[in-house]
Chain A
Amino acid sequence: MSFGSPWFTLPEFTYHKPKTLKEALELLDKYGEEAKVMAGGVGLLAFMKERLMAPSHVIDLKGVPELGQAIYKEGEGLTIGATVTLNELARYGPLKKFGALHDAVRDIADPIIRNRATLVGNLCEAIPWVDTPPALIALGAEVEIRSLKGERRVPVKDFIKGPVEIDLEPGELVTAVHVPEPRRNSRSRFIKYNTGSEFALVSVAANVVMDGGRVRDVSLVYGAVSSTPQVAVKAADALKSAEKPWEVLDEVGRIASEEVEAVSDVLASEEYRRHLIRVLTLRVLREVMG
């Protein structure tokens, strides 16, 4: 145990600001594990100050124009480039179609942070209590990954492998996140619970597809309860198989609260988190099914 993060200084590093994606990928290829890419830097620089990361090369993506766009195409969905900030995204009209993501983005930290921090950075940071991953998973989003060798796509659910651990090889970076067009008759919301302007103690994202009075499909994802976002499969099944879904909401909440991993820490006990999972499941389902 040492007291305090090392001071107010950053460790030494070389700063690069490539102008094209190709240049960025070449730098990344050259420095491999010694390099870290930077978007807003909100997370990266804080980690570096605390010496939790000490890359000798920092590759700032903000000079690459093609990474700075959010594009919505009717029928295809929303593609959010790696340097699109949370506030740019919040102001982008079509985001409203993606209810859960809209909720999550709007509530992160404060306007100052949202002016710098990016969605992709928030996702790649992969700390257990960040807000956008549960929403992205509930919406079935995918991560677009590039390296000099080529490109690949991974569902967000698989991309987050552990706390601060993502599915990225040396030489690879995330160019964008793609959120598919919401299905017909679907609705999604995200609820973050905390006692003030803080990180979530528990968050939940729900995305339902209604079919008359029944729930055809549903995705329930929880943040801040464990080391990675938790998907409640059994609870979703219970809701889908119910003839009268409105009557089983209590039961669905209970199942969710029992099936997902939840931990105790200084901020909340496991018991309290499980209790919140139940309460918030009910609340979010009432909103998306209503």
Chain B
Amino acid sequence: MAEVEKQVERLLNSKDFVVIGKGIARVDSLEAVTGRLAFTGDLLPSNVLYVRPVRSTVPHALIKDIDFSAAKNIPGIVGIYTWRDIPGINDAGSLIPDRPFLAVDKVRHYGEAMAIIAGERPEAVDEAIGLVRVEYERLPAVFDPVEAMKPDAPKVHDKGNICRHMKIRKGDVEKGFQEADVIIENTYQTEFIDSVPPEPEIGLASPDQDGGITCIGSMQNPFDVRWKVADILGLPQEKVRVIQAATGGGFGPKSDETPIDVCAYAALVAYKTGRSAVSIMTRDEAMVTQAKRHKFIIKNKTGARSDGRLVAWESTLIEDTGAYISKGHLVIVRAIFHCAGPYDIPNVKADGYCVLTNNTFAGSTRGFGAPQAFFAAERQMDELARKLGMDPFELRLKNLLRRGSKTITSAEIEDDGLAMCAEWVYNNSEWVRKRREYEEFNRKTRGPIRKGIGVAMIYHGNTLGPEGEDFAYVDVSVDKDGKVSVRTGLTDFGTGAATGLLMIVAEELGVTLDKVRMERPDTSKVQNPGPTVASRVTAIGGRAAQEAASKIREKLKGVAAEMLGCPSERVVFREGRVYDSENPENKVSFEEVVSQAYRIGLELKETGYYIAPPTKWDEETGQGKPYNQYTYGAEVAEVEVDVETGLVKVVRITCAFDVGRIVNPIGLKDVVHGGTIMGMGQAIMERFIHEDGIVLTDNFSTYWIPTAVDSPEIIYHLIESPGPAGAYGAKAMGEIPVVPPPAAISNAVAHALGVPVKQIPLTPDRVLELVKRAGET
């Protein structure tokens, strides 16, 4: 019965696509690899001024005095500016105005900007920065979020350090634990991570003739940049124009506050001097200041019946957001909504705290709190399986969210995507055989290698949900010659999202992809489409693109009907041809129809708008429907652990994701590969170290990320169980593949060594500790 239902649903949802679902290489890839793509750094005018901030070298201090006298005298220095020179509002916080653009009398983290220096040559600016003398009065500081929560902890801001307490209350957790046959309790920890987009932040600002400023930069959200730059300069929004140049990677930080910083440094100088100015971060500056992935400490207490049924789950999540909130108050929400894994649990209690410390600030990073939450939840499931003497995969299957199950917010699950992912991975990873074989191998081996296999399952609430209004605007216009232009403030920063939007427009208009082009995002040309975050572009932006293109198609239909002499319902647009469905030989070209439309004075320019249904939940209990749909994933990781050196090698990842609708299979392949490798970095390599607030890992020589040679074999499968909110049923996928690897890989390592893993990354020294513990037990 269920099978038939599934088939019927598939049939109803199926559509004969021409462009959608075909593998298309990113439309800008040829330009990118041949060096023709214009990045901000390629666009510097010859007389540009170079701008760089003077940054604090201490994590928490009063600024008693800054002496610029020696710096001023360096030949080529044009200006030195402090908060006193800011014409508008001295704030660069992207959502919450808590972060001074230039520090006034206090710095709260290492690397905070206190002044900016502009000069004719970068060397002069650098030399000048080295000569600035700052007199600090050190303040007591706090670097541990648990310490920071104590009432007598040093305060990072005037208010307390806990900036949000988020709650889930479902059922009766006490009663649930009473009904449990086994209860386990563990504390897990993750670290700060920097997502190191290949291109560090850069912003170029030029004065306009009418007193405005134009900024060109590397960013995800031009409208956020415009808003803050205008406020800092005290200009009306229309006086600031922001254009996103080709952008070398985003990963979240480029939607956060550092792109605002560089554009505003440059804009302030352009405003003061009337000249073009550019601010470019070096790698170490970017790594110190850009928004990090949050460090989490998560305590999970779990109760189950002896048959494995989960009956109660209690979590406490502590999130270190650093010295400024940035997106920390939203990341805690996503983390808590996903803290109990993708399981049907009747009784849940969770408390999440977003906590300020004097570490450098954390904010948006691909996955937005989910990788940390699933690491803790999925490790906990393996510990529970061990306690119950059950196979961890079986335990999960028993508790999986399926159609009709209720999430921890009591929202009803409407599809079986997760079960389909789980089933595929179970079969294709050869879970049962390998689990047994590796245990056998580890028992017999006399060499240093131990093998392990681990699983993780996830669901990921789609797009913004509780994080903001989930809307998008996309404009489509058709020129006289039939060329189609797509314009939006949604951005592509290496994700391939623009290609997806173009495919959708081509599909709707029935033209080939080469006729469709994307214009650069420019705040003077389009409306604010909402942020490019939360894996929104294809799913939500796609709906707006679909609407704009279909409006134009409907207009053209009338014209074509007249040309073909058939009723307009029979007009078909396909691959550049327009024909009568009952007589395909009766046809005209798309260009001919467009040209006729122009002749009769039709305007072929439409704005598509889409807003996802609002999501609701109760602030006190977290109960409700925080997301419109979920992306699902199941992943199996296989590892080899060298017990003598502690080195973990991830050999193979077998994963399946329910993406709702495959818009571009090549794009999805890249997203799965890249995300998996990035997630692996979090699992075994990447460890961003603050020592008493000072960053020790500010470049690639000390902060090691995976490269091609570290990549495992990746076997993946995509499932299409369409969701209600996205274009053609598409679900969010940009971030999602980064979520399961920390959980799956650490479960595999725990399997290889036979001891619990409670902390990532699993760097060799930590693995050796685990080996030692394994020997002791």
A276 at interface, CB cutoff 8 A: yes
A92 at interface, CB cutoff 8 A: no
A32 at interface, CB cutoff 8 A: no
Known interface pairs A266-B696, A267-B702. Does A3 touch B284 (Cβ–Cβ under 8 Å)? yes
Partner-contacting stretch, out of B145-153, B257-265, B706-714: B706-714
Closest 8 CB pairs of A and B: A4-B282, A7-B122, A6-B126, A196-B710, A279-B644, A197-B709, A4-B284, A266-B702
**Shortest distance from the beta carbon of A199 to any chain B beta carbon, whole Å:** 7
B701 at interface, CB cutoff 8 A: yes
- Is the pair A269, B685 in contact by a Cβ cutoff of 8 Å? no
Known interface pairs A193-B645, A196-B710. Does A272 touch B704 (Cβ–Cβ under 8 Å)? no
Known interface pairs A7-B122, A9-B122. Does A2 touch B685 (Cβ–Cβ under 8 Å)? no
Residue from B50, B126, B704, B768 in contact with A198 in the complex, judged by beta carbons closer than 8 Å: B704
Bound complex: CA A270 to CA B395 (Å) = 42
Bound complex: CA A7 to CA B282 (Å) = 6
Bound complex: CA A195 to CA B696 (Å) = 18
- Is the pair A266, B123 in contact by a Cβ cutoff of 8 Å? no
Tell me which residues across on chain A come within 8 A of B644, comparing CB atoms. 279
- Is the pair A279, B689 in contact by a Cβ cutoff of 8 Å? no
Bound complex: CA A281 to CA B697 (Å) = 29
B647 at interface, CB cutoff 8 A: yes
B505 at interface, CB cutoff 8 A: no
Interface SS of A by simple majority: loop
Residue from B50, B280, B685 in contact with A195 in the complex, judged by beta carbons closer than 8 Å: B685
Closest residue of chain A to B126, judged by CB?
A6
A52 at interface, CB cutoff 8 A: no
Q: 14 A-B Cβ contacts within 8 A?
A: A2-B129, A2-B130, A3-B285, A4-B281, A6-B122, A7-B50, A8-B122, A193-B645, A195-B704, A197-B708, A266-B689, A266-B697, A272-B764, A279-B645
- Is the pair B709, A196 in contact by a Cβ cutoff of 8 Å? yes
Closest residue of chain B to A198, judged by CB?
B704
Closest residue of chain A to B288, judged by CB?
A3
B295 at interface, CB cutoff 8 A: no
- Is the pair A2, B701 in contact by a Cβ cutoff of 8 Å? no
- Is the pair B283, A4 in contact by a Cβ cutoff of 8 Å? yes
Bound complex: CA A195 to CA B685 (Å) = 8
A170 at interface, CB cutoff 8 A: no
- Is the pair A272, B685 in contact by a Cβ cutoff of 8 Å? no
10 additional contacts (CB under 8 A) given A4-B282, A197-B710, A266-B689: A2-B129, A3-B55, A6-B126, A7-B122, A193-B645, A195-B647, A197-B709, A198-B704, A201-B764, A280-B645
- Is the pair A272, B709 in contact by a Cβ cutoff of 8 Å? no
A65 at interface, CB cutoff 8 A: no
Q: Mark A258-290, 1 if CB is under 8 A from B, else 0.
A: 000000001111001001100110000000000
**Shortest distance from the beta carbon of B541 to any chain A beta carbon, whole Å:** 34
A163 at interface, CB cutoff 8 A: no
B85 at interface, CB cutoff 8 A: no
A112 at interface, CB cutoff 8 A: no
Residue from B57, B689, B701 in contact with A1 in the complex, judged by beta carbons closer than 8 Å: B57
Would you list which residues of chain B between 641 and 687 have a CB under 8 Å from chain A? 644-647, 684-685
Interface centre among A8, A196, A197, A280 (most CB of B within 10 A): A196
Tell me which residues across on chain A come within 8 A of B710, comparing CB atoms. 196-197
Known interface pairs A3-B111, A7-B282, A195-B685. Does A269 touch B765 (Cβ–Cβ under 8 Å)? yes
- Is the pair B282, A5 in contact by a Cβ cutoff of 8 Å? yes
B568 at interface, CB cutoff 8 A: no
**Shortest distance from the beta carbon of A127 to any chain B beta carbon, whole Å:** 10
- Is the pair B709, A5 in contact by a Cβ cutoff of 8 Å? no
- Is the pair A276, B284 in contact by a Cβ cutoff of 8 Å? no
Bound complex: CA A195 to CA B697 (Å) = 16
B615 at interface, CB cutoff 8 A: no
Q: Mark B707-736, 1 if CB is under 8 A from A, else 0.
A: 111100000000000000000000000000
Residue from A4, A9, A198, A201 in contact with B123 in the complex, judged by beta carbons closer than 8 Å: A9
Tell me which residues across on chain A come within 8 A of B283, comparing CB atoms. 4
Would you list which residues of chain A between 191 and 233 have a CB under 8 Å from chain B? 193, 195-199, 201
Bound complex: CA A1 to CA B647 (Å) = 33
- Is the pair A272, B765 in contact by a Cβ cutoff of 8 Å? yes
- Is the pair A6, B57 in contact by a Cβ cutoff of 8 Å? no
B763 at interface, CB cutoff 8 A: yes
Bound complex: CA A166 to CA B284 (Å) = 29
Bound complex: CA A272 to CA B284 (Å) = 27
Bound complex: CA A1 to CA B646 (Å) = 34
